[in-house]
Structure 1
Amino acid sequence: MEMSGPIVIDDIVVDGKVAVQGFACQLSRCKGACCSIPGGRGAPLLDYEISEIKDSLPFILPYLDQRKQTEIEENGFFEGATNDFATVCIGDKDCVFVYHENGISKCAIEKAYNDGKIKFRKPISCHLYPIRVINFGGIVLKYHEIVECDSAREYGTEHNIVVAEFVKDALIRAFGEEWYSKLETEVQKIKGEKVTIRETVRV
């Protein structure tokens, strides 16, 4: 992977790796590992997302096993404080909203959305992954690398799909079409420079 410096779009700093790192999820290979990473803390939640999920729970719960339904009903689905909420995990691993299908970890929130039962797709932090949003006096979009995503990096590199392209829908949802269009222009410019460099090397 060629290195690239940070990209700044409308005061939002984007990790250069977002524009150059090949990435495209292959659930059949990774088995949805990002939803079941050991560590005890689940997906970061924006404050407003808590009420969205609460309102949708009657449609989400049926997709979960009894243990997770009971956990949510008795102890809730989130932890933390304002501006630092996250979903809880079961057994220091699964997000409480994970269900398993053919050995693959999947999101019950997104399942309910895909089935047309709710309008909230899933937490934006999940939708953006492998990008993490960091806010220290300004928004920084950081590429988060874990070994469980090796297959995604391999497939993305092979098919010339970079992180920014893979999470296009999530970036538009978070920052708007106009903002993404500006980022896309920068990504294509960097891709073009990489091709030029390779052609020069061949000569």
Structure 2
Amino acid sequence: MILIDNTCISDDIEDQFFVCDLDKCKGACCVEGDSGAPLEEDELAILDEIYPAVEPYLTQAGKDIIAKEGTYTKDWDGDYVTPVINGRECAYAIYDQKGILKCGIEAAFLDGKIGYKKPISCHLYPIRVTKYEQYHALNYDRWEICNPACSLGAALGVPVYKFLKEPLIRAYGTNWYDQLTQEIDERQESRLREK
């Protein structure tokens, strides 16, 4: 594991490879799972604020469930999550012309309508962050639906931490990310010397 400031980073984030392959998975992470996307408390007000700009991008079913439940809801553990449609896809998920699920929030962001890209839990995936009182644990989440992403990442030689550079910087800052890459570089150089 790697320790930086108040974060504990799993070795898998250095060692595993990952590049989303939407043509193969069809955006399954927006529809599979036990509940909606996890949300940070500071994201709740953001979702309320941006919703008028995001709403035109959403499906009617998504709009209907948000009208009923709100821009966010709580799961059975009491954690804030995005609403889901009939226990399936995220209310913010939209289909593109190829039938691939994408994020309506991100679509509004890419069109310059809002300044918020998407929930940080979605942006960081396949890293899942568990927040403890003293530190954050960053772990690589293995999920069968992402096997194509693992294969593509391995073929391209892109480790998880490089694929997720932008969201990691968004979550923890540039200095933190620079420390992470420096620590990984030093670990890899040390392994080479030991051979």
Normalising by structure 1, what TM-score?
Answer: 0.88
How has the CA–CA distance of structure 1 residues 193 and 150 changed in structure 2, closer, same or farther, with 3 Å as cutoff? farther
Offset at residue 83 of structure 1 (A): 8.2
The correspondence of residues 69-148 of structure 1 with structure 2, limited to 5 A, is: 69-80=63-74, 84-101=79-96, 102-137=98-133, 138-148=135-145
Offset at residue 190 of structure 1 (A): 4.0
The runs of 5 or more residues in structure 2 that have no matched partner are none
How has the CA–CA distance of structure 1 residues 103 and 194 changed in structure 2, closer, same or farther, with 3 Å as cutoff? farther
Quote the sequence identity (%).
Answer: 36
The answer (yes or no) to whether the contact 1:47–1:83 under 8 Å persists in 2 is no
The answer (yes or no) to whether the contact 1:9–1:179 under 8 Å persists in 2 is yes
Mapped to 2, the partners of 1:73 and 1:119 lie a distance apart of 23
For 2:26, the equivalent position in structure 1 comes to: 31
The runs of 5 or more residues in structure 1 that have no matched partner are 1-5
Q: Number of aligned residue pairs: give it.
A: 192
Mapped to 2, the partners of 1:80 and 1:67 lie a distance apart of 19
The DSSP-based 3-state class of the residue aligned with 2:128 is strand
Mapped to 2, the partners of 1:69 and 1:104 lie a distance apart of 19
Offset at residue 193 of structure 1 (A): 5.5
* RMSD of aligned Cα (Å): 1.9
State which drifts further: 184-193 or 51-60. 184-193
The DSSP-based 3-state class of the residue aligned with 1:45 is coil
The answer (yes or no) to whether the contact 2:61–2:85 under 8 Å persists in 1 is no
Determine whether 1:61 maps to 2:46. Answer: no
The answer (yes or no) to whether the contact 1:21–1:163 under 8 Å persists in 2 is yes
State which drifts further: 184-193 or 47-56. 184-193
